[in-house]
């Protein structure tokens, strides 16, 4: 046990003190911020009041569009229309459809007297192809707001032509707000479906990437020591099994340290008054999801790290390891391909039994827990299967590691690996 502890300490301190550990620890929050920030900025209310002219032969239609664009924003929880994300509108209505008027509006737009104009002649209304001329054409929120206002005004006008009063027409076209409520354990809880999906997917991807990253780190460490012949010196003091266990646990401790640092950063970002606090509040990540993350990271890491350690002992160079590791990655890739199926029906028959398979359980069972906690017996059964698989792989891979770590010169074939297992006493 003392030898294993010394190897754990060596592996841990060696990895934590490197610049790559610090860079990767800081890089992950930055990368996540790069993906989140554009969406948050796109949903910010920006810009000054826009001045536009609605040109149409039907003044009543122009006034309806004007009312749509100039009415006060009524922002609702979890939903913002395109118009509510603009700086507001000041609208003029014109009934002059002459070419001279069009040239005049074009010049006014060029001189920045107005921001743009909408041309709604009889042909445009009949074909539903409307021209909106502006100086800048990159504001999609503005385009969406104008399109929505014209569509609603045309719909109200059509309803009025069939005898529907304006007030009733407005009620018919009022946007529908769908409030998602999760029922769990006899309790109801409002959820923001978009934020919940984004947070769940982010946690699943973080679990996938960390398990894979640190599993590969174990393989690289084994290959490095094997290729430099340091392994021969180490084996004079420790057994191959102690060396493998020390590496797996030491690198795993580095992973937990990094995840802990990310958790501290996330708690600071999510603190009341912080910029991203609203995002975390809407996501509603439960403490159960956090504790489950740690449990499935540890089990998933030990499961894959032992396989990667055995692979590192089998190959002679990192290039060979990279070529062969795709076989180990296939179950995790399969798990990602099943994420949407599990997300849509977390308690379905397929999702239930697929999430019990040890090599994909770290991702799929964790996903089920975050979305809708499955029955306790399923979680216990999954954890039991994973623990048994980890111990089985430790025994099996330690035999391969014991022989392969001292084999040089050529890549081992499957028949040779089977001979190693027999030689090691399996």
Model confidence over 216-272: pLDDT tens digits?
A: 888 888 777 777 767 767 777 777 777 778 878 888 888 878 877 877 776 666 555
Q: Write down the pLDDT at residue 306.
A: 85
Token pair listed for 267: 């708690």
Residues of the chain with CATH 3.40.190: 51-178
Q: Write down the pLDDT at residue 375.
A: 87
Model confidence band, residue 35 (pLDDT cutoffs 50, 70, 90): low
Which residues lie closer than 8 Å to 329 by C-beta, 6 or more apart? 212
Smallest Cα–Cα separation from 137: which of 128, 150, 146?
146
Return the number of other C-beta atoms located less than 10 Å from residue 118's C-beta: 24
Smallest Cα–Cα separation from 377: which of 347, 397, 402, 401?
347
Model confidence band, residue 104 (pLDDT cutoffs 50, 70, 90): very high
Q: Write down the pLDDT at residue 425.
A: 55
Instruction: Tell me which range, 27-31, 180-184, 257-261, 415-419, is most confidently predicted by mean pLDDT.
Output: 257-261
Gyration radius of the chain over CA positions: 31
Q: Write down the pLDDT at residue 212.
A: 80
pTM: 0.62
Helix axes 318-337, 287-314, angle to 10 degrees: 150
- When the candidates are 1.10.3470, 3.40.1280, 3.40.190, 3.40.50, the CATH number that belongs to 51-178 is 3.40.190
pLDDT higher than 70, residue 191: no
Query: CA-to-CA distance for 65 and 61, rounded, in angstroms?
Result: 6
* Per-residue pLDDT reduced to its tens digit, 335-365: 888 888 888 888 888 889 999 999 888 888 8
Q: Which residue do the tokens 């006008």 mark?
A: 157
pLDDT higher than 50, residue 77: no
* Per-residue pLDDT reduced to its tens digit, 59-72: 888 888 888 888 76
SS3 119: strand
Is 407 buried (19+), middle (13-18) or exposed (0-12) by CB count in 10 A?
middle
Model confidence band, residue 7 (pLDDT cutoffs 50, 70, 90): confident
Is 216 buried (19+), middle (13-18) or exposed (0-12) by CB count in 10 A?
buried
Helix axes 287-314, 240-269, angle to 10 degrees: 150
């Amino acid at each position: 046990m003392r030898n294993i502890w010394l190897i754990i300490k060596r592996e841990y301190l060696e990895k934590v003190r490197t610049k790559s550990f610090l860079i990767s620890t800081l890089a992950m929050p930055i990368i996540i911020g790069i993906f989140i920030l554009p969406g948050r900025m796109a949903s910010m209310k920006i810009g000054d009041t826009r001045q536009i002219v609605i040109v149409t032969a039907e003044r009543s239609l122009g006034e309806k569009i004007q009312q749509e664009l100039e009415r006060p924003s009524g922002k609702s929880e979890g939903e913002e229309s395109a118009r509510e994300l603009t700086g507001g509108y000041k609208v003029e209505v014109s009934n002059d459809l002459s070419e001279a008027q069009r040239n005049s509006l074009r010049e006014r737009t060029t001189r920045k007297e107005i921001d743009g104009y909408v041309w709604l002649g009889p042909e445009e209304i009949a074909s539903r192809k409307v021209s909106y001329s502006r100086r800048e054409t990159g504001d999609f929120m503005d385009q969406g707001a104008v399109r929505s206002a014209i569509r609603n005004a045309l719909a109200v006008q059509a309803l009025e032509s069939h005898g529907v009063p304006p007030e009733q027409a407005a009620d018919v076209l009022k946007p529908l707000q769908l409030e998602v409520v999760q029922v769990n354990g006899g309790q109801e809880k409002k959820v923001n479906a978009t934020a919940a999906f984004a947070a769940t997917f982010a946690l699943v991807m973080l679990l996938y990437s960390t398990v894979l990253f640190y599993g590969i780190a174990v393989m690289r460490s084994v290959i490095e020591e094997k290729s430099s012949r340091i392994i021969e010196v180490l084996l004079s003091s420790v057994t191959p099994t102690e060396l493998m266990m020390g590496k797996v646990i030491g690198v795993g401790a580095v992973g937990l340290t990094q995840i802990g640092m990310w958790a501290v950063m996330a708690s600071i970002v999510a603190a009341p008054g912080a910029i991203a606090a609203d995002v975390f509040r809407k996501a509603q990540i439960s403490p159960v999801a956090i504790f489950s993350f740690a449990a499935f990271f540890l089990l998933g890491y030990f499961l894959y790290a032992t396989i990667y350690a055995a692979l590192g002992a089998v190959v002679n160079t990192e290039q060979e390891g990279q070529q062969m590791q795709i076989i180990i990655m296939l179950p995790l890739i399969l798990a990602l391909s099943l994420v949407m199926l599990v997300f849509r029906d977390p308690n379905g028959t397929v999702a239930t039994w697929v999430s019990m398979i040890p090599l994909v359980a770290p991702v799929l069972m964790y996903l089920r827990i975050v979305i809708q906690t499955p029955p306790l017996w399923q979680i216990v059964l999954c954890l039991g299967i994973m623990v048994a698989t980890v111990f089985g792989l430790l025994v099996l891979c330690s035999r391969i590691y014991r022989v392969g770590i001292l084999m040089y010169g050529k890549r081992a074939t499957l028949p040779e690996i089977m001979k190693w297992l027999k030689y090691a006493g399996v």
